[in-house]
């Protein structure tokens, strides 16, 4: 009975650690989006936005690296397979968006942001569902 409780506790501890690491990063991402939301920015505002976005990107990479180091082989495999699926979906979506842009249906810059954010959401959803259903 202790063996069945141990993986559940370790899974909860890993999720809690990612949540604690990721919460400031998500907050920083919201700040970066708010700073970049104004189309008429001064040079100082653009500088703050670029700095915040750079720090946000590095923080995301740091959180992912820490999560991968904490994970066992099975969780690493799930994460990498989920990333591969999301990457393929984003690539296909970007190809479709490029064709729609060339046809004049929609502008590429509007759809590219949604595709990238959707790809990250798809990656996290697939990884979470696979982790919950296969353990």
The sign of the dihedral angle between the CA atoms of 72, 77, 80, 82 is negative
Output the pTM of the full model.
Answer: 0.62
pLDDT band for position 1 (50/70/90)?
Answer: very low
pLDDT digits (tens, 9 = 90+) for 102-127: 998 888 877 877 888 888 888 888 88
Q: Which of 3-7, 62-66, 69-73, 96-100 has the highest mean pLDDT?
A: 96-100
The sign of the dihedral angle between the CA atoms of 40, 119, 75, 131 is positive
Secondary structure of the chain: what % helix, strand, coil (to 5)?
90, 0, 10
- Say what the pLDDT of residue 59 is: 87
| Distance separating alpha carbons of residues 130 and 107, to the nearest angstrom | 34
């Amino acid at each position: 009975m202790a063996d069945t409780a141990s993986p559940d506790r370790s899974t909860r501890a890993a999720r809690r650690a990612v949540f604690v690491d990721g919460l400031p990063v998500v907050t920083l991402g919201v700040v970066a989006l708010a700073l970049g939301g104004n189309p008429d920015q001064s040079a100082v505002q653009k500088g703050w936005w670029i700095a915040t976005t750079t720090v946000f990107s590095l923080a995301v990479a740091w959180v992912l690296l820490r999560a991968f180091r904490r994970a066992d082989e099975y969780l690493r495999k799930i994460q990498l397979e989920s990333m591969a699926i999301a990457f393929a979906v984003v690539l296909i979506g970007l190809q479709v968006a490029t064709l729609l842009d060339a046809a004049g249906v929609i502008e590429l810059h509007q759809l590219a942001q949604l595709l990238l954010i959707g790809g990250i959401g798809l990656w996290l959803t697939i990884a979470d569902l696979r982790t919950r259903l296969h353990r």
